[in-house]
A = this chain, B = another copy of it.
Amino acid sequence: MRAVLSDPHISLAHGNGGRFMRELIEEVFVRHLGAGNVDASADAVALDLGGGEPMITTDGFTVQPLEFPGGDIGSLAVHGTVNDLAVAGAKARYLTLNAFIEEGFESAVLDRIVASLAAAARACGVRVVAGDTKVLRRGEGGGVYFATTGVGVRLPGARPALDRIREGDAVIVSGTIGDHGTAVMLAREDFDLRGSLASDSASVAPLAESLLAFDGLRFMRDPTRGGIASVANEIRRATGLGLRFEANLPVAEAVQSVCDMLGYDPCYLASEGRVIAVVAPDQADAAVLALRGHDGGRSAARVGTVTGRGTRVTLRTELGGERFLEELEDDPLPRIC
């Protein structure tokens, strides 16, 4: 294996605008992201959106550990931003990348993470066209933090938005919930548990695009920080309507076991490759079938209903009871994304 950088660790000199910074950018970032994509010598680059309506989003990534079963901070930084565009009804085309790297960070780990980021970008069909690196003093970073900004174009079809949601609408999810949060938690040394669980981190673009074909699609979101309970509470705040989840919420057995053991509720745990959508009730079953046609949507299900004005967010239990899913206050799992 060829040496990545002449220095096995990142130093402050890699952030100074001189030779070491150029080496870092060229040997790690440009090498993986493709010299034809990133012009390291340009202050700003032109985007070709083919006349489409541009949409933008941005997200920061601070997950710990940096690598976990099913992904790493690099692939997550692509999927998170691509997904924010997808659930807004847009196709991601371009990304920009900010890297904040801690002094002393291992060059080989950085190289591996950037390679993963580049592979995820290629798989999603997005080009990383601009970037910036900063080096943080030792003790003032967590290894590496990323921020990605995504630019895409709006797709034809439904225009999902919170204000389209109506009482009686159906709520569907594209797969099991809480896999990412649980996998990251287990990957931490704090917990003396090792499971076969993997993060669900993935692009939801194919799932979201298949939902856009339904004129009854009201709203989509990727339930990351705070999980589906937080999305439901956001809907409640924005619309005044409540939401009732049924007892059939898809939760992987291993996720449920870990949650039972440690006292977590999967409704509050992050997914990074799922969509929760609100759909007109008469199109819900067809929408679920459409999701199941994708590899990432095999366990899609209709899991709830939008309830009347002034009601709250609830979850029906298997014993037939119903409990409130309140807005999150404490942080069950910091640094999950």
Contact = CB atoms under 8 A, between A and B. Distances in A.
Interface of A: 12-13, 15-21, 41-47, 49, 53-62, 84-85, 87-88, 90, 94, 96-100, 129-137, 139-142, 145, 147, 149-152, 154, 162, 221-222, 224-227, 230, 233-234, 238, 270, 327-332, 334-335
Which of A94, A98, A224, A328 has its CB near the most chain B CB atoms (within 10 A)? A98
A44 B84 contact: yes
A329 B20 CA distance: 7
Q: How many copies does the complex hold?
A: 2
Contact of A54 (B54, B136, B141, B330): B54
A54 B76 CA distance: 26
20 contacts: A12-B334, A16-B225, A16-B226, A16-B330, A16-B332, A17-B225, A43-B57, A43-B84, A44-B57, A44-B88, A44-B152, A47-B55, A56-B149, A57-B96, A58-B97, A60-B147, A137-B335, A139-B139, A140-B141, A141-B141
A58 B15 contact: no
Contacts of A133: 60
Given A58-B131, A87-B43, A19 B327 contact: yes
Given A15-B331, A334-B16, A136 B130 contact: no
Contact of A331 (B13, B85, B140): B13
A99 B100 CA distance: 12
B238 A41 contact: yes
A229 to B, nearest CB: 9
B226 A58 contact: no
A231 to B, nearest CB: 9
Contact of A134 (B56, B62, B162): B62
A17, A19, A154 — which one has the most chain B CB atoms within 10 A of its CB?
A17
Contact of A56 (B96, B222, B270): B96
Contacts of A331: 12-13, 15-16, 18
A46 B41 contact: no
Contacts of A21: 225
Contacts of A139: 139
A162 B43 CA distance: 11
- Closest 3 A/B residue pairs (Cβ): A18-B328, A17-B226, A17-B225
A17 B230 contact: yes
A290 B141 CA distance: 44
A41 B162 contact: yes
A136 B132 CA distance: 20
Given A53-B46, A149-B149, A224 B17 contact: yes
Given A54-B46, A328-B19, A140 B140 contact: yes
Nearest to A59: B132
A45 B161 CA distance: 11
A98 B58 contact: yes
Contacts of A58: 96-98, 130-132, 147, 149
A47 B43 contact: no
Contacts of A88: 42-45
A334 B134 CA distance: 10
B129 A56 contact: yes
